[in-house]
Amino acid sequence: MKTIGMIGGMSWESSKIYYQHINEMVRDQLGGSHSAKSILTSVDFDEIERHSFDGNWKAIGKIMAKEAQALENAGAELIVLCTNTIHLVSDAITKATNIPFVHIAQATGEAIQEKGLKKIALLGTKFTMENDFYSKMLENDFGLEVLIPDAEDREMLQSIIYDELVKGKFTEKSKNICLGIIKKMKGLGAEGAILGCTELPILIPASDACIPTFDTTKIHSQKAVEFALS
């Protein structure tokens, strides 16, 4: 079993779900009392959030590179960045390290492809929805048509994520707003919806959505476990 290196804290609300998923998946696959060999480094999210809103992605890239190098030096054999948005600076990690990096959009694209879907909605932070680091990989590598919510709904999602979810607030009102956005995307032809913020699957149960949803936290965890056990 390879040692999984995780960069967490963005936010820790979803990082704890990563740790849970990864250990449960290893136990389920290997049986007995098996658990994952892992190393977790966790950043101060306030600093990351501040740089994000300032558009200082270079500073975030430096932080991620430093954390990734620390994981590699500690014995990690692969790296998982436990967030969607900060994959915007994933190149900083791959350039700074010599071990495999498991990209969340790549793993998500593979999961969508397995279901045979062609038109997919992407929900997440404004940084994820409005930059092309995520959608371009889905379009170029998997031939998907990616739909994003309109400007008003993007603002709504941004507010829910940063004002509530990363602070551990999960309300019925916000869940229903997100389900309404997914319903709108279905009306535009979306066959499924990517929950492209690692806190969104905590808020939105798959059973409540009108189209299939893709839990990026679980998908990413599964890909990491597959790699670790390969």
Give residue 204's pLDDT.
96
3-state class of 6 per DSSP? Answer: strand
For residue 49, which of 120, 124, 115, 127 has the smallest C-alpha distance? 127
Look up tokens 């965890």; give the residue: 221
Segment 139-153, tens digit of pLDDT: 999 999 999 999 999
Kindly report the CA angle at 212 between 206 and 215, in degrees rounded to 5? Answer: 55
pLDDT band at 219 (very low <50, low <70, confident <90, very high): very high
Spatial distance between the Cα atoms of 168 and 11, rounded to a whole number of angstroms: 9
Neighbours of 49 (CB within 10 A): 16
Q: Which pair of structure tokens corresponds to residue 195?
A: 């929950």
Helix (H) or strand (E) segment spanning residue 79: strand 78-81
- Strand runs (DSSP E) across 124-171, as ranges? 145-147
Give residue 224's pLDDT.
98
Q: Are 114 and 226 in contact (CB under 8 A)?
A: no
**Has 198 been annotated as catalytic?**
no
Mean pLDDT of 168-188: 98
Segment 8-58, tens digit of pLDDT: 999 999 999 999 999 999 999 999 999 999 999 999 999 999 999 999 999
Give residue 139's pLDDT.
97
Give residue 55's pLDDT.
96
Give residue 180's pLDDT.
98
For residue 225, which of 39, 24, 53 has the smallest C-alpha distance? 24
Give residue 167's pLDDT.
95
Give residue 14's pLDDT.
94
pLDDT band at 173 (very low <50, low <70, confident <90, very high): very high
Beta-sheet strand order (sheet of 192-195): 145-147, 119-123, 192-195, 213-215
Q: Rounded mean pLDDT of the chain? A: 97
**Has 85 been annotated as catalytic?**
no
The catalytic position among 83, 108, 128, 198 is 83
Please, which residues have CB within 8 angstroms of residue 84's CB and are 6 or more apart in sequence? 104, 105, 124, 125, 128, 134, 196, 197, 198, 216
Look up tokens 């999602």; give the residue: 157
For residue 166, which of 61, 82, 64 has the smallest C-alpha distance? 82
Segment 78-129, tens digit of pLDDT: 999 999 999 999 999 999 999 999 999 999 999 999 999 999 999 999 999 9
All domains in the chain, ordered by first residue = 4-103+219-229 (3.40.50.1860), 105-215 (3.40.50.1860)
- Cα 140 vs. chain centroid, distance in angstroms? 19
Q: Which pair of structure tokens corresponds to residue 132?
A: 């092309």
The catalytic position among 82, 85, 108, 197 is 197
